[in-house]
Amino acid sequence: MYEKDYIEYDGYGLKEVRCMRCDSPVKKRGIVEHILPDGGKVNVYAVKTMSNFSPVPFTLSDGSFTNILMCRDCNKKYTDNGEERKGMEKQVRRGLELEAIGKGRSQEEIGAVRKRAEKIKIIKIHTFGG
């Protein structure tokens, strides 16, 4: 659990988001039909949320809020123990770094994000259970 990068970027931006716990897809970029103001239709790429997506809000030690990105099955199986929290904190730290990389930040900026992320801890999980 919590061993793989849960977010994937490519040259077009965000490609896929996977459950932070089990690595199953919860959001994917795909083609969706968009209706134009004149009633016409055009196919566009968009990130679609899958039906198994079950995010859980939590508070970090720096005062910010974010979500644990989980599938519904993992949300129901989760137990709040030290090992699970360490895994989630690792994923949040890596996610901050990947976001900076995905946005094309400089190596210096990525280093600053990495340094800030090292100190982050989860201090409160707001809900669990699907």
Task: Give the distance from CA 56 to its chain's centroid.
Answer: 11
Task: Give the distance from CA 12 to its chain's centroid.
Answer: 17
Q: State the angle between helix axes of 82-102 and 107-117 in degrees (0 to 180), rounded to the nearest 10.
A: 160
pLDDT value at 130 more than 70: no
Q: Give CA–CA dist 58/39, Å, rounded.
A: 41
Render pLDDT for 17-75 as a digit per residue (tens, 0 to 9).
999 888 899 999 999 899 999 999 999 989 999 999 998 888 888 888 888 888 999 88
Per-residue pLDDT, 16: 93
Render pLDDT for 79-127 as a digit per residue (tens, 0 to 9).
667 778 888 888 888 888 888 888 889 999 999 988 988 888 888 877 6
Per-residue pLDDT, 86: 85
Q: Give CA–CA dist 84/106, Å, rounded.
A: 32
Task: Give the distance from CA 29 to its chain's centroid.
Answer: 14
